[in-house]
Structure 1
């Protein structure tokens, strides 16, 4: 029968003799320092994932301390992710050219310096600029991690390594509100929000020192030059796509944002045409398009985009629902979300170490089904007075499904990538993740904020008569009660619709009357509670669509991983066979 390596549906990208020779030279069988190196790189990944969202819990303190505007707060949070995503493809290729350890260390050093600058910022403008620079440093550091793993670890160990890395990354993203809440509550040295950034400095310095000792240098043995025109085309096209996706909601989706997104499609088509010509001319494109001839790589990237789009949408909507709708503190939110993290931890390791080798892509498909079941449980339990314990079953199931589906994707994506192109492939994989998050955040506008505005208006309308009735019962004149009830409707509906300017005058009217304020506050919480619950309900139904999409996309992956990945001989396992080859 056909070997796993010669699966007719699974073509490997063409490789030159020099590239094949490079793989032999560039891939030590078992570097004795590899696990120490992996720990150092995992800590760096943890810092990056943590910094992507930990700042959210400190925004009120930053606003009060530095006098930041709402636009500046948006740049402080989303600017990091935006700059990070722009750098990933170029950062990965720089590792192939100049050395992956060298670029990783440069990224760590930049991350330490920019974290310090964030922590000592004396103005909103300085903090915004430092966050953008921090994202650029992360974009240089992070893609080296996956490529160093790919060229350093023996194939049979990669499953365990990617499982740990995926779990740690998910843990960091999930517990960021918890860690942020603890740091803010501790108020270390009375520095208020600043330790959220400064804590990276000592950790990064230790990692930088140890990195030179334990991380083995690797780069493409075939001489490669940086494709500067490709860098410009990729950066401009990504900017045109990511900028409106990242900041569109805050800017109320201006027309030029849609023009930019349409222009990005033209830009990407031009980038692909140029990269093809560059490949024919000298074989040194920024992105080796031969990678996409691999069904495994292409299908895995599509699945990754879908999974992380769902994650970006679900997590943002969930944070808003828990904190704004249910009134959870950042600390309680973080503790509640541990259910998701525990679920992902359980299946992340098991899926790549034991389940995928035995059952192949079916594990990812089952994971998509488990996510759908978790969403269904969430919908059954969801109510305006749901408790943390009521959220646990749905979060646990979604976490279990996420670990089964998202964690093994990297194994399918990288199994046919030559070591020569490990950095470029890693940059593409990480870019797909960040693009997914950005698209997910954009979808929240339709799946969460739009129904929130609609429900907020109807709920405020239905509650207003009760507000008026209580005001009259408290001795307020009927004419005045009518005015205050109308102010309540305008304040509540416009606040939930995200139009603070329109809400300002109405809310101020209520604040001026202590009696009206007490009554309005009670009913405002009820309106927000019901509105956020209904909006999150809509988001969950959209989540069903993404679970179905993940199930479909997973079916395009090869049925089995190549058996060398697990140290077994590649015999008798064709795409259509019933079982993978046994050792």
Structure 2
């Protein structure tokens, strides 16, 4: 993503007349992307129940979108430099709106995932154009106001997204169900297209860069080869080619780095400025962001699945349940903007990751202590702490990382950081989702054989070998249901369980009592299996946050232009405002 700087001539010109209407189109486009990045955690169980696709579909709904967005962001910024930001913005807006409709009308997992990938690619054209456009149409004295309005609007969208998604699905408007979470993009997209066409000025970048097509392809393929086997491997029982692809991904990333070095050595225009990776602050920022964003997105996925699939919450109730996290994140952003980050500097990142880890551990303790009777009121305090930590980490992260780069590297650095943010999100869905689903079946099976279930069966005269057979069959059926590729398919183990139940019921003389005892046991074991799975997977999230905490020591102590309370610090270089981070 390349930065546009206003020349003295531009700064002296009369402000662009329609700048706030153009700003509204850019803001609406950013909100539309934010909604689509967040809604699938709420919508995924409903989508899976409707069109099938199994647990892998749930992972690909998020990973496909964010991976495509990550792979295309820097290229999208370059295309804006070459062809002008307005036409690229409009192509992105039209494509995003059309692909949203394709998501809404999808009737199979394959077509829906393809449409989600298309959304991500068009989003990668749409989003990078906003920063340069805002900087070029607002006079310097109004830039702070524009970016100041952007932050709260995105914060409000973050708070509203899960609730809106849950309400749209539960409301089943016009019989659309989950499809409305994509159809809502149509009116927003039409506004973005019309307002963008009418009010965004047609300005060409001062110096158009050449597009590094081989670099863009190498980076995209390398990222895909890492994510694809991680998502698919569990369902295929980890064949050898999964590990071959992951190894090949690492090789391609090395080839990409060497190719970018050669382009720069020839005086060309690489996709990413290679000298960035020689700076400890920037490289440290990449790995820190990768660890934290992986944890962040993965935790959001598994907690929502626990609420909906494990506890049986409706989409609306699940959306309301995660509202404290969104409110907590807004409070973290507010505290950061009120001067806490300027005072703490890099320690704000450490405080943020610590609070996030504390919130995740709080969820662990709550679900362990309360069991399957967890309610939104139980989890609200821990989620609020987690969200506050998230806000304290995200607010200064880009500014602190970018304090370690030179002015001429700023555009490439900000674009690369944003791409890593999205790649981390895709990786979080892939890795943490795979861990969660990988242990879910076994946990459901283990949760079946309980003293309570045996007591219920004994009370209806099912004992001995018949009791053992039903409990074993219930565990097998629960395992197969929890890991089924097609949630509507009748599992062979469940058919056998029905046969065993009928045989036991006929000999007990209380068929209704036997059926009720088994049904109660199935419900309890399913909930308890999800409970145990969440508890174990949370420690992966905590481990990643601890890694992020440690890696943050590689970053500069303060953001550029921020001095520590003692009056010293900072490197004194390029104290230009960092409004750009607000857009990322």
Q: TM-score, normalised by structure 1?
A: 0.82
Change (3 A) 1:376 1:45: same
- Is the Cα–Cα contact under 8 Å of residues 325 and 387 in structure 2 kept in the other structure? yes
Aligned: 1:474 with 2:423: no
In 2, Cα distance between the equivalents of 1:153 and 1:409?
Answer: 25
Aligned: 1:212 with 2:207: no
In 1, Cα distance between the equivalents of 2:234 and 2:160?
Answer: 25
Aligned: 1:120 with 2:134: no
Q: CA RMSD in A?
A: 3.8
SS at structure 1 position matched to 2:272: coil
Deviation at 1:432, TM superposition (A): 0.8
Q: For 2:328, which of 334, 339, 343 is the aligned residue?
A: 343
Which residue in the other structure is 1:541 paired with? Answer: 539
Q: Which runs of 5+ in 1 are unaligned?
A: 1-18
- Is the Cα–Cα contact under 8 Å of residues 248 and 442 in structure 1 kept in the other structure? no
Deviation at 1:346, TM superposition (A): 1.2
Aligned: 1:328 with 2:313: yes
In 2, Cα distance between the equivalents of 1:364 and 1:161?
Answer: 26
**Within-5 A mapping of 1:215-234:** 215=200, 220-234=205-219
Aligned: 1:241 with 2:211: no
**Within-5 A mapping of 1:410-489:** 410-414=398-402, 424-444=412-432, 448-461=436-449, 463=450, 466-475=452-461, 480-489=466-475
SS at structure 2 position matched to 1:562: coil
Which residue in the other structure is 1:15 paired with? Answer: none
Which residue in the other structure is 1:529 paired with? Answer: 527
Which residue in the other structure is 1:6 paired with? Answer: none
Q: For 2:29, which of 44, 54, 69 is the aligned residue?
A: 44
SS at structure 1 position matched to 2:554: coil
Q: For 1:311, which of 296, 304, 326 is the aligned residue?
A: 296
In 1, Cα distance between the equivalents of 2:8 and 2:490?
Answer: 65
Which residue in the other structure is 1:371 paired with? Answer: 356
**Within-5 A mapping of 1:86-105:** 86-105=71-90
Q: TM-score, normalised by structure 2?
A: 0.82
Which residue in the other structure is 2:579 paired with? Answer: none
Change (3 A) 1:364 1:200: same
Aligned: 1:507 with 2:494: yes
Q: Which runs of 5+ in 2 are unaligned?
A: 503-510, 576-584
Aligned: 1:85 with 2:70: yes
Aligned: 1:134 with 2:84: no
Task: Count how many residue pairs are aligned between Structure 1 and Structure 2.
Answer: 554
Which structure ranks higher in relative contact order (CA pairs < 8 Å, sequence separation ≥ 6)? Answer: 1
- Is the Cα–Cα contact under 8 Å of residues 55 and 437 in structure 2 kept in the other structure? no
- Is the Cα–Cα contact under 8 Å of residues 78 and 210 in structure 2 kept in the other structure? no
In 2, Cα distance between the equivalents of 1:410 and 1:309?
Answer: 16
Deviation at 1:423, TM superposition (A): 5.8
Deviation at 1:394, TM superposition (A): 0.7
Deviation at 1:43, TM superposition (A): 2.2
SS at structure 1 position matched to 2:295: helix
Which residue in the other structure is 1:302 paired with? Answer: 287
Change (3 A) 1:206 1:23: closer
Instruction: Judge which range, 192-201 or 144-153, deviates more.
Output: 144-153
Change (3 A) 1:122 1:525: closer
Instruction: Judge which range, 121-130 or 110-119, deviates more.
Output: 121-130
Deviation at 1:400, TM superposition (A): 0.5
Change (3 A) 1:526 1:22: closer
SS at structure 2 position matched to 1:253: coil
Change (3 A) 1:434 1:118: same
Change (3 A) 1:223 1:207: closer
- Is the Cα–Cα contact under 8 Å of residues 71 and 216 in structure 2 kept in the other structure? no
Deviation at 1:390, TM superposition (A): 1.4
Aligned: 1:391 with 2:374: no
SS at structure 2 position matched to 1:559: coil
In 1, Cα distance between the equivalents of 2:16 and 2:336?
Answer: 25
Deviation at 1:77, TM superposition (A): 5.1
- Is the Cα–Cα contact under 8 Å of residues 164 and 349 in structure 1 kept in the other structure? no
**Within-5 A mapping of 1:53-68:** 53-55=38-40, 57-58=42-43, 62=47
Listed one character per residue, the Cα deviations across residues 302-334 of structure 1 (whole Å, up to 9, x for unaligned) are 322122011022111211222233332221111
Aligned: 1:520 with 2:508: no
In 2, Cα distance between the equivalents of 1:222 and 1:161?
Answer: 25
- Is the Cα–Cα contact under 8 Å of residues 26 and 221 in structure 1 kept in the other structure? no
In 2, Cα distance between the equivalents of 1:291 and 1:355?
Answer: 28
Deviation at 1:200, TM superposition (A): 0.8
Deviation at 1:209, TM superposition (A): 1.6
Deviation at 1:380, TM superposition (A): 3.6
Change (3 A) 1:289 1:306: same
Deviation at 1:552, TM superposition (A): 2.4
- Is the Cα–Cα contact under 8 Å of residues 471 and 519 in structure 1 kept in the other structure? yes
In 2, Cα distance between the equivalents of 1:556 and 1:63?
Answer: 42
